[in-house]
């Protein structure tokens, strides 16, 4: 069984939280993969050097100077510090972008109306190399940078990287994919953090969408989950990272 | 036979030169390792965000904000762009800091009078993992960042990284280490680029030092070479990277 865990900016931006998460993550037994998002430091760095971050529909437009910044911050600063911390906790971590070992090849997004810039949609995962690494007790740590195999680095959504890695790995082993975020899971009432829906399958999801219990930002997140499940991932969990140290902590488990 | 090549800032800072070098490097057959220095972009970035680079005796003093910058630039921007370009040339490159896979563990420098900051002196190389990577036809690309295995990243001299990797690999295979720099090799007359001394052994080195033909910056460089040779490296070449595509280009070969 392979454990794939994705952490987002809320953990990355808080050193104490990150330290706690990495301690819990380091104790997970068996093959595991960590995928991390970016947090606020790329935006901060862009501002520091006078770039204006551009967003369209909540997505960052990645022009060439912004790509430089996200590569520096995601693949450099954040990734290497996480790797060094995991090494201190005796996890043999290696940090990767998708370019490394051609692990995640993507295609520059070609949208009919919006030019996203240097943004890549995942095309294929080098499952053989990933398996060789896991067999050698390596803990891969992925940042959200991929490449087009033609020399161009590309910015790619970290949730997508986590799901594509999980789908690829599910061809060879059972995979549990965990998305850690600031809430405890999918909530019945978005104002009440204790109203966690602990299990969702496709049937319930359709009903919850119809009843508008699940709405806005949670819809693409859950669509992405059901896409991963239908493509082979066995189980997906969504919740706060404290569930890693204490399995009694409420969270949402998603299955087909 | 393993080929280890180190390139410095003069190549990194010139995109056309770097492209040519990577094309030549990609054609080298057999197991190979690339080590790259930093170039001017770390200094430029430090100035952009308002840091004052501090130097003592030609060495950068690495305080915490400067460490952040060199990690970003060396392990992020430079390393990942080199990896993506090598992938485009069908070399299965993976970029590494010393923290990744605990490949290069170092010790924070403890100097009696100068506080170098977050600078590491190499303590050990994870030769087993390096060999596994080479056996899997991976081309490791190292930046000049290491770690102390206690969670701290450290800035380490790229020449030293190249020599320590070569020494470690020489325990299992024959190693040729090549230092590419802006000159064609060790010169008889530092003003005349064609006055290359094509072969130097220890005896000749001592004589050339005595006669002051070799002086200033070349002395630590060559001391480092003879140290590597005495610790197992079979052959060291120093010269301009154009010798990679054309072996008739003059360069200096150093042996014991």
Domains within chain A, CATH numbers bracketed:
2-173 (3.40.1160.10), 181-256 (no CATH)
Q: Does the pLDDT of residue A90 top 90, yes or no? A: yes
The Cα B238–Cα B26 span in angstroms is: 19
Residue B60: the pLDDT is 67
Chain A CB contacts of B79 under 8 Å are 75-76
Q: Does the pLDDT of residue A215 top 90, yes or no? A: no
Q: Does the pLDDT of residue A36 top 90, yes or no? A: yes
A45, closest residue in chain B (CA to CA): B49
The Cα A221–Cα A210 span in angstroms is: 16
Interchain pair A147, B95: CB under 8 A: no
Q: Does the pLDDT of residue A100 top 90, yes or no? A: yes
The Cα B83–Cα B104 span in angstroms is: 19
Q: Model confidence over B164-210: pLDDT tens digits?
A: 999 999 999 999 999 999 899 999 998 898 999 999 999 999 999 99
Chain A CB contacts of B72 under 8 Å are 72-73, 76-77
Residue A60: the pLDDT is 67
| Contact B146/A at CB under 8 A | no
Least confident of A9-23, A39-53, A131-145: A39-53
Q: Does the pLDDT of residue A254 top 90, yes or no? A: yes
Interchain pair A83, B97: CB under 8 A: yes
> Of B77, B92, B147, which has the smallest distance from its Cβ to A87's Cβ?
B147
Q: Model confidence over B53-103: pLDDT tens digits?
A: 777 776 668 999 999 999 999 999 999 999 999 999 999 999 999 999 999
Which of A145-149, A214-218, B10-14 has maximum average pLDDT? A145-149
Residue A59: the pLDDT is 66
Mean pLDDT of B37-60: 84
The Cα B138–Cα A212 span in angstroms is: 50
Residue B86: the pLDDT is 98
């Amino acid at each position: 069984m392979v454990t794939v865990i994705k952490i987002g900016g809320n953990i990355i931006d808080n050193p104490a939280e990150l330290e706690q998460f990495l301690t819990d993550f380091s104790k997970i037994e068996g093959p595991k993969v960590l995928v991390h998002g970016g947090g606020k430091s790329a935006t901060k760095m862009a501002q520091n050097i006078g770039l204006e971050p551009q967003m369209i529909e909540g997505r960052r437009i990645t022009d060439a100077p912004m790509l430089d910044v996200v590569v520096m911050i995601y693949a450099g600063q954040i990734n290497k510090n996480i790797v060094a911390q995991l090494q201190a906790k005796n996890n043999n971590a290696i940090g990767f972008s998708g370019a490394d070992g051609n692990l995640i090849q993507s295609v520059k997004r070609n949208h009919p109306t919006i030019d996203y810039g240097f943004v890549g949609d995942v095309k294929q995962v080098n499952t053989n190399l990933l398996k060789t690494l896991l067999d050698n007790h390596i803990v891969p740590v992925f940042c959200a940078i991929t490449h087009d195999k033609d020399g161009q680095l590309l910015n790619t959504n970290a949730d997508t990287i986590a799901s594509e890695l999980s789908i690829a790995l599910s061809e060879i082993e059972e995979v549990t994919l965990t998305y850690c975020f600031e809430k405890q899971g999918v909530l019945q009432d978005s104002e009440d953090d204790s109203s966690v829906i602990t299990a969702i399958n496709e049937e319930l999801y359709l009903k919850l969408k119809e009843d508008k219990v699940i709405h806005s930002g949670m819809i693409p997140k859950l669509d992405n989950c059901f896409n991963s499940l239908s493509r082979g991932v066995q189980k997906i969990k969504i919740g706060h990272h404290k569930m890693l140290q204490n399995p009694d902590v409420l969270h949402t488990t998603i299955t087909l």
